[in-house]
Amino acid sequence: MKFVIGLMLVLGAAASPAPRDDFNWRDIDFVLAFGDSYTYVQGTFGHQNYSFIGDALNYSFTPTQLLSNKIIQDQTGTSAGGPNWVEFLTGCFSGLPSKCRTQLWDFAFAGADISTSYMPLHHDYTIPFVDQIKQYTTYAHPVLYPRRSNPNPKKSLVALWIGINDINDSAKYTFPRNGTSNFAEYYDLLIAEMFESLENLYSAGYRNFLVVGLPNLDQSPANQKTSTPLPNLSMIQSFNGLLANRSKAFQSTHRGTKNLVFDTHAYLSSIFANASTYGITNTTSFCPRYNAPDIAANYAAYGCSAPDAYFWYNSGHITSHVHRILAKEVDSFLREQSSGRH
């Protein structure tokens, strides 16, 4: 008996907590999303073209507003001209999130950076990532989990895709800046703040985190046309490497968490390179009239191919078709990362 206790103490003191080995994507019925335009979905109580619910000037919402807020599926309901990756991943495309088999509660705000500490807001109504999390834990979490103090960690997944605006907005910054002397140090400052804000979710009981890395912004239409793309490949790889390291560190310092990192850049650049395999015929540019209300039917009248033929929806966003391909791969990734146990 003494021996067993002694051994437990030694193990407890020496090892950082082991990652949970009972994550199972098939058990997840609640996906909570935070991020920017790549993840935003339109809601009936949202800021048009920007959010599911509220904005920085209408930061609070009532339980009734939250529970009656519906996901709207239309051309501007995402930044992609159609359903986005979290909608494909959950199968929650429109209507009340609570009616979906895998519920999607999406607090991503188009144009969001990580915070305002080091980056200016796009608009006075923009809700940065760290404030999306505060908004959720203050106004939504107590409503969605009224009877339990904690969500069931086995049944919920927090999906995080942020940094696209940060790396884009800061691409021309010069150093020193904010006590850092290069991009890598600067990115780490931003990413540290991102992970600090996850403490709110950890305290609320969430344990499964999916971090989605930056996409292939180095291959945007404008970046393909220049010998000095911004952001460039090394900047994106630096950001993604730091993201992966911070995620690993969070897992090792937070008991009971499962932290997954999806390498979006590697995957999307392979789609880009093999575009025709996926029915994509145009990777170089986007249809200038991508947002014409009748584009789906009348693309030819605008001198364009069908929307699904494009990799890029506009100057900075991927098409819904690419979101669908991405979501399928994220789904496979989550299955691979699942334990065999039920």
Ligand X SMILES: *[C@@H]1O[C@H](CO)[C@@H](O)[C@H](O)[C@H]1NC(C)=O
Q: Of 143 and 189, which has the nearer Cβ to ligand X?
A: 189
- Let me know: does 157 contact 87? Beta carbons within 8 Å: no
Q: Of 24 and 314, which has the nearer Cβ to ligand X?
A: 314
Write out the two tokens for 177.
């800046």
Closest-CB residue for ligand X?
316
CB of 274 to ligand X, least distance (A): 4
Q: Of 273 and 296, which has the nearer Cβ to ligand X?
A: 273
Of 104, 207, 217, which Cα lies nearest the Cα of 170?
217
Cis peptide bond N-terminal to 176, omega within 30: yes
- Let me know: does 114 contact 193? Beta carbons within 8 Å: yes
Of 86, 68, 66, which Cα lies nearest the Cα of 77?
86
CB of 156 to ligand X, least distance (A): 28
CB of 96 to ligand X, least distance (A): 19
CB of 33 to ligand X, least distance (A): 17
CB of 55 to ligand X, least distance (A): 6
Question: Can you tell me the distance from the alpha carbon of 78 to that of 33, in angstroms, rounded to the nearest whole number?
Answer: 14
Give the C-alpha distances (Å, rounded to integers) separating 274 from 218, 277, 281.
Answer: 17, 6, 10
3-class DSSP state of 118? coil
Which neighbouring-strand residues pair with 212?
262
Of 294, 269, 301, which Cα lies nearest the Cα of 283?
269
Give the C-alpha distances (Å, rounded to integers) separating 166 from 36, 45, 89, 186, 229.
Answer: 10, 26, 25, 10, 16
CB of 21 to ligand X, least distance (A): 22
Q: Of 206 and 272, which has the nearer Cβ to ligand X?
A: 272
Radius of gyration of the chain (CA): 21
Q: Of 116 and 339, which has the nearer Cβ to ligand X?
A: 116
Question: Can you tell me the distance from the alpha carbon of 48 to that of 108, in angstroms, rounded to the nearest whole number?
Answer: 13
Phi, psi dihedral angles at 31 (to 5 degrees): -110, 125
Classify 121 in phi/psi space as left (phi over 0), alpha (psi -120 to 50) or beta.
beta
Q: Of 97 and 307, which has the nearer Cβ to ligand X?
A: 307
Task: By CB under 6 A, name the binding residues for ligand X.
Answer: 48-49, 57-58, 76, 117-118, 164, 168, 177-178, 222, 232-235, 238, 241-242, 245, 270, 273-274, 281-282, 284-285, 287, 291, 304, 315-317
Q: Of 69 and 103, which has the nearer Cβ to ligand X?
A: 69
Half-sphere exposure of 295 (CA within 13 A, CB side): 23
Q: Of 291 and 339, which has the nearer Cβ to ligand X?
A: 291
CB of 339 to ligand X, least distance (A): 25
Which neighbouring-strand residues pair with 158?
32, 209
CB of 122 to ligand X, least distance (A): 9
CB of 170 to ligand X, least distance (A): 10
Question: Can you tell me the distance from the alpha carbon of 26 to that of 102, in angstroms, rounded to the nearest whole number?
Answer: 10
Q: Of 205 and 249, which has the nearer Cβ to ligand X?
A: 249
